[in-house]
């Protein structure tokens, strides 16, 4: 913490420069796409030409951009700062958009390296069940996943509807990859040992068992990502799901699945 305090003191003015001007932020974001002239920036940002020119001169002094014959270009420094600044903007937007979701739940099941990239799920919707419709979240989740061509999931809790859904997906020829806990695996064996054995013989199913107890449950398909978390009481909350159809969010979810898969063992019908 002492190091961060010293670093902050050194770059405080630089941070304020890039983060406290809407015009500068929007110009940097626009120039990340491609070089643009002052006229193009003026028209796209809806500000006066003098505002653009003044901001550009200030950013040139800070080595963030440079003017060439075809317009303004971000420098290497400018590109780095812009990319990281946009990540922070997306992160804050994501938290504010679903503040209740993040305040009420644990994030222990999301490794630190994924927290660092959590801006990737900024483009999402929050599904919440109500007293009048307690099954709203589950119903929408099942509707989203039923047409999946490929299905990845991490499930630390046993849910009857989930088992039924996976069975139907396998019958449709969907490739299913699951990571479950030892506890869920034992529960599945106790409920229908022979049925589980038959499912495990399906070539479209890859089942992995982890000895950990993740405080996160999520699903990734070819078109969607769904995230559920545990409440502060340590109990899984089925009433709220964060859903996204964005490619970045789907990639984030796939990478998180691979993280848990790498820490689990693959099981086959011989272990039932």
Class of domain 2-86: mainly alpha
Question: Residue 133 — very low, low, confident or very high, per pLDDT cuts 50/70/90?
Answer: low
Task: Please indicate whether residue 97 or residue 146 has the higher confidence score (pLDDT).
Answer: 97
Question: Residue 151 — very low, low, confident or very high, per pLDDT cuts 50/70/90?
Answer: very high
Looking at CATH, the fold of the domain delimited by 99-271 is given as Endonuclease; Chain A (3.30.870)
Report whether pLDDT(154) > 70.
yes
Report pLDDT for 165. 85
Question: Residue 164 — very low, low, confident or very high, per pLDDT cuts 50/70/90?
Answer: confident
Question: Residue 132 — very low, low, confident or very high, per pLDDT cuts 50/70/90?
Answer: low
Task: Please indicate whether residue 79 or residue 131 has the higher confidence score (pLDDT).
Answer: 79
Give the pairing type, strands 150-155 and 216-221.
Answer: antiparallel
Q: Mean pLDDT, the chain, as a whole number?
A: 92
Report whether pLDDT(94) > 90.
yes
Give the pLDDT mean for 125-151: 79
Report pLDDT for 113. 96
In this structure, of 20-34, 36-50, 58-72, 121-135, the range with the lowest mean pLDDT score is 121-135
Question: Residue 198 — very low, low, confident or very high, per pLDDT cuts 50/70/90?
Answer: confident
Domain boundaries, the chain: 2-86, 99-271
């Amino acid at each position: 913490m002492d190091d961060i305090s010293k670093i902050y003191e050194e770059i405080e003015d630089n941070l304020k420069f890039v983060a406290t001007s809407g015009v500068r932020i929007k110009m940097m974001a626009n120039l990340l796409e491609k070089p643009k002239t002052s006229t193009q920036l003026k028209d796209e940002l809806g500000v006066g030409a003098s505002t653009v020119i003044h901001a550009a001169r200030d950013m040139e002094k800070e080595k963030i951009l440079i003017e060439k014959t075809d317009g303004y270009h971000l420098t290497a420094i400018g590109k780095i700062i812009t990319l990281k600044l946009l990540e922070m903007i997306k992160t804050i937007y994501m938290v504010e958009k679903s503040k209740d979701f993040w305040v009420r739940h644990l994030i222990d099941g999301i490794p630190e390296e994924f927290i660092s990239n959590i801006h990737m799920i900024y483009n999402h919707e929050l599904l919440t069940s109500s007293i009048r419709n307690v099954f709203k979240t589950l119903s929408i989740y099942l509707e989203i996943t039923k047409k999946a061509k490929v299905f990845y999931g991490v499930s630390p809790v046993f849910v009857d509807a989930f088992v039924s859904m996976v069975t139907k997906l396998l019958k449709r020829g969907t490739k299913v990859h699951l990571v479950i806990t030892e506890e869920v695996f034992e529960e599945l064996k106790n409920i229908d040992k022979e049925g589980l054995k038959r499912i495990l013989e399906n070539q479209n199913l890859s089942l992995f068992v982890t000895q950990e107890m993740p405080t996160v449950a999520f699903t990734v398909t070819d078109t969607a990502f769904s995230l559920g978390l545990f409440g502060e009481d340590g109990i899984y909350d089925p009433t709220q799901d964060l859903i996204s159809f964005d490619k970045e969010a789907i990639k984030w979810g796939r990478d998180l699945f691979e993280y848990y898969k790498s820490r689990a063992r693959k099981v086959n019908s011989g272990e039932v």
